[in-house]
Structure 1
Amino acid sequence: MVPGRLCCFPKDPLEDVETWSESVDKVLSCKAGQIAFREFLKSEYSEENILFWLACEEYKKIKMAPEMISSANRIYSEFVETEAPRQINIDCGTRENITKNISQPSLTSFDSAQKLIYSLMARDCYPRFLKSDIYQGLLRRTNSSWLTFGCGPFE
Protein backbone atom coordinates (compact mmCIF):
# COMPACT_ATOMS: atom_id res chain seq x y z
CA MET A 1 0.00 0.00 0.00
CA VAL A 2 1.39 3.37 -1.01
CA PRO A 3 1.17 5.88 1.86
CA GLY A 4 -1.65 8.34 1.37
CA ARG A 5 -3.55 6.23 -1.14
CA LEU A 6 -7.09 5.03 -0.60
CA CYS A 7 -7.23 1.63 -2.29
CA CYS A 8 -6.31 1.98 -5.95
CA PHE A 9 -7.03 5.61 -6.77
CA PRO A 10 -4.62 7.10 -9.31
CA LYS A 11 -3.93 10.23 -7.28
CA ASP A 12 -3.93 10.92 -3.60
CA PRO A 13 -7.68 10.96 -2.85
CA LEU A 14 -7.24 12.94 0.31
CA GLU A 15 -5.91 16.02 -1.44
CA ASP A 16 -9.53 16.92 -2.27
CA VAL A 17 -10.88 16.52 1.27
CA GLU A 18 -10.80 20.23 2.09
CA THR A 19 -12.86 21.04 -1.04
CA TRP A 20 -15.63 18.70 0.11
CA SER A 21 -16.85 21.38 2.50
CA GLU A 22 -17.72 23.60 -0.49
CA SER A 23 -20.72 21.54 -1.63
CA VAL A 24 -22.26 18.10 -1.68
CA ASP A 25 -21.39 18.03 -5.40
CA LYS A 26 -17.68 18.17 -4.51
CA VAL A 27 -18.14 15.10 -2.31
CA LEU A 28 -20.18 13.20 -4.89
CA SER A 29 -17.83 14.03 -7.79
CA CYS A 30 -14.87 12.35 -6.10
CA LYS A 31 -14.57 8.59 -5.57
CA ALA A 32 -12.95 9.03 -2.15
CA GLY A 33 -15.68 11.52 -1.22
CA GLN A 34 -18.37 9.03 -2.22
CA ILE A 35 -16.73 6.36 -0.07
CA ALA A 36 -16.40 8.63 2.97
CA PHE A 37 -19.97 9.96 2.58
CA ARG A 38 -21.24 6.40 2.18
CA GLU A 39 -19.49 5.38 5.41
CA PHE A 40 -21.13 8.32 7.17
CA LEU A 41 -24.57 7.47 5.76
CA LYS A 42 -24.08 3.84 6.79
CA SER A 43 -23.47 5.05 10.35
CA GLU A 44 -26.81 6.90 10.15
CA TYR A 45 -28.63 3.93 8.62
CA SER A 46 -29.30 5.82 5.39
CA GLU A 47 -26.69 4.32 3.06
CA GLU A 48 -29.44 3.51 0.55
CA ASN A 49 -29.54 7.20 -0.43
CA ILE A 50 -26.05 7.37 -1.91
CA LEU A 51 -26.31 3.84 -3.31
CA PHE A 52 -29.50 4.82 -5.14
CA TRP A 53 -28.01 8.10 -6.36
CA LEU A 54 -24.90 6.31 -7.67
CA ALA A 55 -27.01 3.59 -9.31
CA CYS A 56 -28.99 6.32 -11.11
CA GLU A 57 -25.79 7.98 -12.30
CA GLU A 58 -24.62 4.68 -13.80
CA TYR A 59 -28.07 3.98 -15.22
CA LYS A 60 -28.05 7.25 -17.19
CA LYS A 61 -24.90 6.10 -19.03
CA ILE A 62 -26.56 2.99 -20.50
CA LYS A 63 -26.82 2.89 -24.28
CA MET A 64 -28.48 -0.48 -25.01
CA ALA A 65 -32.20 -1.13 -24.39
CA PRO A 66 -31.82 -4.66 -22.94
CA GLU A 67 -29.23 -3.43 -20.43
CA MET A 68 -31.46 -0.44 -19.58
CA ILE A 69 -34.45 -2.69 -18.88
CA SER A 70 -32.38 -5.03 -16.72
CA SER A 71 -30.76 -2.18 -14.79
CA ALA A 72 -34.07 -0.33 -14.33
CA ASN A 73 -35.68 -3.44 -12.89
CA ARG A 74 -32.74 -3.99 -10.54
CA ILE A 75 -32.86 -0.37 -9.30
CA TYR A 76 -36.63 -0.60 -8.93
CA SER A 77 -36.58 -3.85 -6.96
CA GLU A 78 -33.63 -2.81 -4.77
CA PHE A 79 -34.61 0.78 -3.96
CA VAL A 80 -38.05 1.87 -5.17
CA GLU A 81 -40.75 -0.75 -4.78
CA THR A 82 -42.59 -0.96 -1.48
CA GLU A 83 -40.71 -3.26 0.90
CA ALA A 84 -37.54 -3.08 -1.25
CA PRO A 85 -34.45 -4.22 0.71
CA ARG A 86 -32.93 -0.71 0.49
CA GLN A 87 -36.13 1.27 0.08
CA ILE A 88 -35.51 4.98 -0.40
CA ASN A 89 -37.68 7.60 1.25
CA ILE A 90 -39.68 9.21 -1.57
CA ASP A 91 -43.27 10.38 -1.75
CA CYS A 92 -45.94 7.94 -2.89
CA GLY A 93 -46.66 9.92 -6.07
CA THR A 94 -43.07 9.60 -7.27
CA ARG A 95 -43.03 5.91 -6.33
CA GLU A 96 -46.33 5.28 -8.15
CA ASN A 97 -45.10 7.09 -11.26
CA ILE A 98 -41.96 4.95 -11.43
CA THR A 99 -44.01 1.79 -10.80
CA LYS A 100 -46.44 2.71 -13.59
CA ASN A 101 -43.63 3.23 -16.12
CA ILE A 102 -41.11 0.55 -15.08
CA SER A 103 -42.25 -1.83 -17.83
CA GLN A 104 -41.00 0.69 -20.40
CA PRO A 105 -38.05 2.41 -18.76
CA SER A 106 -36.25 5.41 -20.23
CA LEU A 107 -33.02 7.12 -19.23
CA THR A 108 -35.12 9.59 -17.21
CA SER A 109 -37.20 6.95 -15.36
CA PHE A 110 -35.57 7.68 -12.01
CA ASP A 111 -34.81 11.40 -12.43
CA SER A 112 -37.53 12.70 -10.12
CA ALA A 113 -36.65 10.22 -7.37
CA GLN A 114 -32.94 10.91 -7.80
CA LYS A 115 -33.55 14.67 -7.44
CA LEU A 116 -35.53 14.06 -4.24
CA ILE A 117 -32.78 11.87 -2.78
CA TYR A 118 -30.08 14.35 -3.84
CA SER A 119 -32.01 17.15 -2.15
CA LEU A 120 -32.42 15.07 1.00
CA MET A 121 -28.69 14.31 1.11
CA ALA A 122 -27.71 17.92 0.34
CA ARG A 123 -29.91 19.62 2.90
CA ASP A 124 -30.09 16.99 5.63
CA CYS A 125 -27.18 14.51 5.57
CA TYR A 126 -24.39 16.62 4.08
CA PRO A 127 -24.27 19.27 6.86
CA ARG A 128 -24.04 16.48 9.45
CA PHE A 129 -21.35 14.76 7.38
CA LEU A 130 -19.18 17.90 7.57
CA LYS A 131 -19.40 17.80 11.38
CA SER A 132 -18.91 14.03 11.57
CA ASP A 133 -15.90 12.23 13.00
CA ILE A 134 -15.41 10.62 9.60
CA TYR A 135 -14.97 13.92 7.74
CA GLN A 136 -13.13 15.67 10.56
CA GLY A 137 -10.75 12.71 10.84
CA LEU A 138 -10.00 12.84 7.11
CA LEU A 139 -9.38 16.59 7.35
CA ARG A 140 -6.89 16.00 10.16
CA ARG A 141 -5.14 13.33 8.12
CA THR A 142 -4.67 15.68 5.17
CA ASN A 143 -2.90 18.06 7.51
CA SER A 144 -0.57 15.38 8.82
CA SER A 145 2.63 14.53 7.00
CA TRP A 146 2.35 10.73 7.19
CA LEU A 147 -0.78 9.47 5.51
CA THR A 148 -1.28 5.78 5.80
CA PHE A 149 -4.68 4.75 4.67
CA GLY A 150 -5.72 1.15 4.16
CA CYS A 151 -8.95 0.01 2.61
CA GLY A 152 -10.35 -1.28 5.92
CA PRO A 153 -13.55 0.59 6.77
CA PHE A 154 -13.85 2.20 3.35
CA GLU A 155 -14.43 -0.94 1.31
Structure 2
Amino acid sequence: MWKSSTEFADPLGDVESWSESVDKVLGCKAGQIAFQQFLKSQYSEENILFWLACEDYKKVKSTPEMISSANRIFSEFVETEAPRQINIDWSTRENITKNISQPTLSSFETAQKQVYSLLARDCYPRFLKSDIYQGLLRRAESR
Protein backbone atom coordinates (compact mmCIF):
# COMPACT_ATOMS: atom_id res chain seq x y z
CA MET A 1 0.00 0.00 0.00
CA TRP A 2 1.26 3.47 -0.89
CA LYS A 3 2.16 5.71 2.05
CA SER A 4 2.01 9.48 2.04
CA SER A 5 5.20 11.34 2.85
CA THR A 6 3.70 12.54 6.14
CA GLU A 7 3.63 8.95 7.41
CA PHE A 8 7.43 8.95 7.17
CA ALA A 9 7.77 12.37 8.77
CA ASP A 10 10.51 12.60 11.37
CA PRO A 11 9.01 13.53 14.74
CA LEU A 12 12.12 15.61 15.44
CA GLY A 13 11.63 17.59 12.22
CA ASP A 14 9.65 20.17 14.18
CA VAL A 15 12.13 20.62 17.04
CA GLU A 16 13.47 23.96 15.77
CA SER A 17 9.95 25.40 15.55
CA TRP A 18 9.24 24.57 19.21
CA SER A 19 11.25 27.62 20.24
CA GLU A 20 8.69 29.87 18.47
CA SER A 21 5.87 29.32 20.98
CA VAL A 22 4.43 26.98 23.56
CA ASP A 23 1.64 26.31 21.03
CA LYS A 24 4.19 24.79 18.62
CA VAL A 25 5.27 22.37 21.37
CA LEU A 26 1.72 21.53 22.44
CA GLY A 27 0.55 21.19 18.83
CA CYS A 28 2.94 18.37 18.04
CA LYS A 29 2.94 14.86 19.55
CA ALA A 30 6.74 14.70 19.84
CA GLY A 31 6.71 18.16 21.43
CA GLN A 32 4.09 17.08 23.96
CA ILE A 33 6.16 14.03 24.88
CA ALA A 34 9.41 16.01 25.27
CA PHE A 35 7.66 18.77 27.26
CA GLN A 36 5.98 16.16 29.46
CA GLN A 37 9.34 14.48 30.07
CA PHE A 38 10.80 17.85 31.11
CA LEU A 39 7.83 18.65 33.37
CA LYS A 40 8.13 15.24 34.99
CA SER A 41 11.76 16.05 35.85
CA GLN A 42 10.48 19.30 37.41
CA TYR A 43 7.71 17.55 39.37
CA SER A 44 5.00 19.47 37.49
CA GLU A 45 3.87 16.89 34.93
CA GLU A 46 0.25 17.29 36.12
CA ASN A 47 0.04 20.58 34.20
CA ILE A 48 0.50 19.14 30.73
CA LEU A 49 -1.49 16.01 31.62
CA PHE A 50 -4.41 18.19 32.71
CA TRP A 51 -4.12 20.40 29.62
CA LEU A 52 -4.11 17.33 27.33
CA ALA A 53 -7.05 15.78 29.22
CA CYS A 54 -8.99 19.02 28.67
CA GLU A 55 -8.18 18.99 24.95
CA ASP A 56 -9.56 15.43 24.71
CA TYR A 57 -12.55 16.38 26.85
CA LYS A 58 -13.56 19.12 24.37
CA LYS A 59 -13.92 16.42 21.67
CA VAL A 60 -16.37 14.30 23.68
CA LYS A 61 -19.61 13.68 21.77
CA SER A 62 -22.03 11.94 24.15
CA THR A 63 -23.42 13.06 27.52
CA PRO A 64 -22.52 9.80 29.34
CA GLU A 65 -18.95 10.05 28.03
CA MET A 66 -18.82 13.73 29.06
CA ILE A 67 -19.96 12.93 32.61
CA SER A 68 -17.49 10.06 32.93
CA SER A 69 -14.62 12.10 31.50
CA ALA A 70 -15.45 15.17 33.62
CA ASN A 71 -15.48 13.08 36.78
CA ARG A 72 -12.16 11.47 35.91
CA ILE A 73 -10.52 14.86 35.25
CA PHE A 74 -12.06 16.26 38.43
CA SER A 75 -10.88 13.42 40.67
CA GLU A 76 -7.41 13.21 39.11
CA PHE A 77 -6.56 16.92 38.83
CA VAL A 78 -9.08 19.32 40.38
CA GLU A 79 -10.48 18.19 43.69
CA THR A 80 -8.55 19.08 46.82
CA GLU A 81 -6.00 16.34 47.54
CA ALA A 82 -6.33 14.95 43.99
CA PRO A 83 -3.36 12.68 43.11
CA ARG A 84 -2.20 15.14 40.43
CA GLN A 85 -3.73 18.32 41.81
CA ILE A 86 -3.18 21.31 39.53
CA ASN A 87 -2.42 24.79 40.80
CA ILE A 88 -5.53 26.88 40.07
CA ASP A 89 -7.18 29.64 42.05
CA TRP A 90 -9.69 28.87 44.76
CA SER A 91 -12.73 30.32 42.95
CA THR A 92 -12.05 28.28 39.79
CA ARG A 93 -11.68 25.07 41.82
CA GLU A 94 -14.85 25.94 43.77
CA ASN A 95 -16.81 26.66 40.57
CA ILE A 96 -15.81 23.33 38.99
CA THR A 97 -16.65 21.48 42.23
CA LYS A 98 -20.07 23.12 42.38
CA ASN A 99 -20.93 22.24 38.77
CA ILE A 100 -19.27 18.82 38.35
CA SER A 101 -22.59 16.98 38.72
CA GLN A 102 -23.78 18.68 35.50
CA PRO A 103 -20.66 19.08 33.37
CA THR A 104 -20.59 20.97 30.08
CA LEU A 105 -17.87 21.07 27.41
CA SER A 106 -16.65 24.33 28.97
CA SER A 107 -16.51 22.99 32.56
CA PHE A 108 -12.70 23.10 32.69
CA GLU A 109 -12.12 26.07 30.38
CA THR A 110 -11.06 28.58 33.06
CA ALA A 111 -8.81 26.05 34.79
CA GLN A 112 -7.27 25.04 31.46
CA LYS A 113 -6.52 28.71 30.66
CA GLN A 114 -4.83 29.14 34.06
CA VAL A 115 -2.72 26.02 33.56
CA TYR A 116 -1.88 27.06 29.97
CA SER A 117 -0.76 30.44 31.27
CA LEU A 118 1.47 28.75 33.86
CA LEU A 119 2.92 26.46 31.17
CA ALA A 120 3.54 29.38 28.79
CA ARG A 121 4.97 31.87 31.31
CA ASP A 122 6.90 29.60 33.65
CA CYS A 123 7.49 26.06 32.36
CA TYR A 124 8.02 26.74 28.65
CA PRO A 125 10.97 29.17 29.01
CA ARG A 126 12.68 26.67 31.35
CA PHE A 127 11.95 23.85 28.88
CA LEU A 128 13.76 25.73 26.09
CA LYS A 129 16.88 25.95 28.30
CA SER A 130 16.62 22.34 29.47
CA ASP A 131 19.00 19.52 28.59
CA ILE A 132 16.01 17.64 27.16
CA TYR A 133 15.17 20.32 24.57
CA GLN A 134 18.79 21.28 23.87
CA GLY A 135 19.67 17.62 23.27
CA LEU A 136 16.78 17.17 20.82
CA LEU A 137 17.76 20.41 19.08
CA ARG A 138 21.36 19.22 18.66
CA ARG A 139 20.13 15.87 17.30
CA ALA A 140 17.83 17.62 14.82
CA GLU A 141 20.54 20.06 13.70
CA SER A 142 23.21 17.38 13.27
CA ARG A 143 21.22 15.58 10.58
Q: Is the shorter-chain TM-score for this pair beyond 0.5, marking a shared fold?
A: yes
Structure 1 match to 2:18: 20
- 2:30 paired with 1:32: yes
Which 4+ residue blocks in structure 1 deviate beyond 2 angstroms? none
The alignment yields a C-alpha RMSD, in angstroms, of 0.8
Between the aligned partners of 1:107 and 1:25, the Cα distance in structure 2 is 21
The one-letter amino acid paired with 1:34 is Q
Q: Which has the higher contact order (CA 8 A, sep 6+)?
A: 1
- Report the counterpart of residue 84 of structure 2 in structure 1: 86
Residue 144 of structure 1 and its aligned partner are, at CA, apart by 1.8
What do residues 2-29 of structure 1 show as CA deviations (whole Å, max 9, x unaligned)? xxxxxxx752010100000000000000
1: CA distance, partners of 2:34 / 2:141: 17
**Is 1:52 equivalent to 2:37 in the alignment?**
no
With the length of structure 1 as denominator, give the TM-score of the two structures. Answer: 0.87
Corresponding residue number in structure 2 for 1:67:
65
Q: Whole-Å Cα distance in 1 between the matches of residues 88 and 135 of structure 2?
A: 32
Alignment TM-score, normalising by the size of structure 2: 0.94
| Secondary structure class of the residue paired with 1:82 | coil
Q: Which amino acid aligns with 1:67?
A: E
Counterpart CA distance in 1 for 2:104 and 2:8 is 34
Equivalent of 1:100 in 98, 101, 106: 98
Greater fraction helix: 2
CA drift at 1:43 = 0.4
CA apart distance, 1:71: 0.2
- Which runs of no fewer than 5 residues in structure 1 stay unpaired? 1-8, 146-155
2:114 equivalent to 1:116? yes
Deviations 1:37-76 (A, max 9, x none): 0000000000000000000000000010000000000000
> After superposition, what is the alpha-carbon deviation per residue over 1:76-121, rounded to whole angstroms, capped at 9, x for unaligned?
0000000000000001100000000000000000000000000000
The code of the aligned residue for 1:33 comes to G
- Tell me, which stretches of 5 or more residues in structure 2 are unaligned? 1-6
AA of the residue aligned to 1:20: W
Alpha-carbon distance in 2 for matches of 1:128, 1:62 = 32
**Percent of aligned pairs with the same amino acid:** 81
